Amino acid sequence: MKRRWFFSGASTLIWALLLLASCVAPTPSPISTRASPTVISTQPVVISTFLPTPSVPGPTKLALTQPTITIAPENNTWLRENAIPFDTTDPNSDFEDLMPLKDLIGDAHIVALGEATHGTHEFFEMKYRLLRFLVEEMGFNTFAIEANWPEANLVNDYVQTGKGDPAELIRWWGPGLGFWTWDTQEVLDMILWMRAHNENPGDAPLVSFFGFDMQFYKLAMDNVVAYLEQVDPDRAAQTTELYHCFRQYSDRELIYAQLSAETRTACRANLQAVYDQLSQQQSDYKARSSPEEFARALQNARIVLQAEHPFGSGDERNMIGDRDRYMAENVTWLLDQAGPDAKIVLWAHNLHVGTYDYGLRPMGAYLRENYGDEMVVFGFSFYQGSFISSQWPDGLTDFSVELPPENSYEYTFHSAELPRFFLDLRRLPSDSPATNWLMTSHPLRAIGAGYDPSHAEDYFVSVILPQMFDIIIYFQDTSASLPLYR
């Protein structure tokens, strides 16, 4: 069974992220430009991820006790005049109310879609609707979600060929996409549409489904061994042995973390040896298979390396920024593989797609540095409502949030008295009360795959919104996503 103790988004660890803002993050591996293929170092890699730490205090008591700033009437007027209302999240509706997005997105070939929780129906349904719009109206052809890369490839097989049962492919305990968050009716409906679209695309491009996360590694190991059995059977057995030191802990990472440093270092060297051997035999292996098959095999070996370090370190101070760095690297790899005409839609938490640099940089900050205005980032925000999240030891639970504080972005957006709208944060007037207010740090709700209602104040982060997103999508009222399994 897959690990129940992983968080795929923001949670109580936001505090750790903010606490580390003054720390020096590890030097990132370079991310290639679109003009050339991604060059992945063969040096040992470091990767970290999220582990739940309920004892870690929340970040936002400071943010929530900031002096309340009165919202001036002219700010409300500006907001109502500049917000772009839309009618519905229904993916089967027409696109008339979304047409203003053509101008907002322009020629960008990356559209990143965030979310303030990992369990909100309106967020998920709106992302499905936006994907349809971007494919059918703007020629986007690639979709990638905050889910494990090897497992997501199985969903892509279904999207491309109809192979497999999509409901089983997104089951979070296996093969799944790594997290319970995507095992929902909304995600299943989107995948079913992608398959139906590819069977009859009309004038729109075919669409692919991928993941860019790396927190699970068993299938990646299986894929490397299977590839070597095809191109170099003698090496396959050796690779199985090299992977054994890590594979035996695939469901017991906490035990792996307790091994001696010498043992973990030797295991990490074994994983690196697999990657290096593949790299060194590149020409030969490509000739025995194909460039595409070799690239996938090498990326599987890379995923294993990326996944190993957090289980060995157990140091939550390094578990956030590194994960985002490698998710950004994997997005770049996907774009390089898709070719110069690729246009990709990304789905992840607000704190991953956002470009606001906390000291430990989010995925969006790396992608912004690499792609600039070729990427448009949408943040998702809501005023009130319910959502699904995980609470120890009860599992998945429906929660309803308290109203946001008066100095929050959500409270101000509510004052516009619109049920839902887009707001372009890049086109602010140079000098106005509204701009001055938006460019001041305020609390923003950020809930991940875990939630503790007794510390609701912990699930806000203080940010300068226009430095984090290009466009905000606001919902006054929300409801819980529809899990297929609890």
The pLDDT assigned to 27 comes to 31
Round the CA-based radius of gyration of the chain to a whole number and report it.
22
Answer yes or no: are the C-beta atoms of 303 and 217 closer than 8 Å: yes
Give me 444's structure tokens.
């923003």
Residues 86 and 149 in one domain: yes
What DSSP assignment string belongs to 76-120?
HHHHHHH-EE-----TTS-SGGGTHHHHHHTT-SEEEE--S-SSB
Residues 451 and 389 in one domain: yes
Residues 307 and 347 in one domain: no
The pLDDT assigned to 255 comes to 82
Question: In angstroms, how far is CA 299 from the centroid of its own chain?
Answer: 18
Residues 64 and 203 in one domain: yes
Boundary (domain end) residue, out of 315, 333, 358: 315
The pLDDT assigned to 76 comes to 85
Boundary (domain end) residue, out of 256, 286, 315: 315
Residues 331 and 435 in one domain: yes
Residue 391 included in any domain: yes
Which CATH number does the domain housing residue 272 bear? 1.20.1440
Residues 262 and 393 in one domain: no
Residue 24 included in any domain: yes
C-alpha–C-alpha distance, residues 377 and 354, integer Å: 7
Q: How many domains does the chain have?
A: 2
The pLDDT assigned to 178 comes to 73
The pLDDT assigned to 424 comes to 97
Answer yes or no: are the C-beta atoms of 348 and 440 closer than 8 Å: no
Boundary (domain end) residue, out of 282, 315, 348: 315
Range of the domain at 257: 218-315
* The pTM of the whole model exceeds 0.85: yes
Average pLDDT per block of 10 residues along the chain, 486 residues long: 37 35 31 32 31 32 46 82 97 98 98 98 98 98 97 97 96 79 96 98 98 94 98 97 92 79 94 98 98 98 90 65 91 96 97 87 96 98 96 86 93 94 93 89 93 93 95 98 87
Residue 8 included in any domain: no
Which CATH number does the domain housing residue 333 bear? 3.40.1660.10
Residue 130 included in any domain: yes
Residues 340 and 282 in one domain: no
**Cβ neighbours for 274, distance < 8 A, ≥ 6 positions apart:** 224, 239, 242, 243, 301, 304
Residues 457 and 351 in one domain: yes
